[in-house]
Amino acid sequence: MQDMQTKPNGPVAAAFVAAGIGSLVLGIFVVLNEVSTDINTFLKFDASYGLGSGVGPLSGKVALATIAYLASWVVLHFYARGKEVNFSRWFMVALVLVFAGFALTFPPIFEFVVGLFPAAE
């Protein structure tokens, strides 16, 4: 019988959780964009930096979510590199983060959250 070696699952779990973090950051910036005109102006990377011409604050939201994904992926990769982790736990964390991030992008939800900040209206 042949001895099968498996690679540690830590880096894969790290990538899943990092994707969840990126999704959550995107959802948070969707809400912040609606809460504050200053943040809305800041997120217009197309006007400020020429990134994604004509898309408005979406360019900033996506750029910052991508940066959050990449940064968290690097940190989590080095943390979990060479380790065998409880993959189901890490995957559940990733699913919760992705769900929360996506939920914050839906108008009924982000409008409710924005409504919690009366000074912003």
DSSP string for 3-62: PPP---SHHHHHHHHHHHHHHHHHHHHHHHHHH-HHHHHHT-HHHHH-SSTT-TTHHHHH
Q: Specify if 118 maps to a domain.
A: no
- Contact by Cβ (8 Å): 20, 105: no
Q: Specify if 90 maps to a domain.
A: yes
Q: Specify if 52 maps to a domain.
A: yes
Q: Specify if 114 maps to a domain.
A: no
Q: Specify if 3 maps to a domain.
A: no
The residue segments making up the domain with residue 71 are 10-109
Q: Specify if 117 maps to a domain.
A: no
Main-chain phi, psi angles of 66, to 5 degrees = -65, -40
Q: Is the pTM of this model over 0.75?
A: yes
Q: Specify if 120 maps to a domain.
A: no
List per-residue pLDDT tens for the chain, 121 residues long.
566 678 889 999 999 999 999 999 999 999 999 888 888 888 888 877 777 677 888 888 999 999 999 999 999 999 999 999 999 999 999 999 999 999 999 999 988 988 887 764 4
Instruction: State the total domains in the chain.
Output: 1
Q: Specify if 115 maps to a domain.
A: no
- Contact by Cβ (8 Å): 90, 35: no
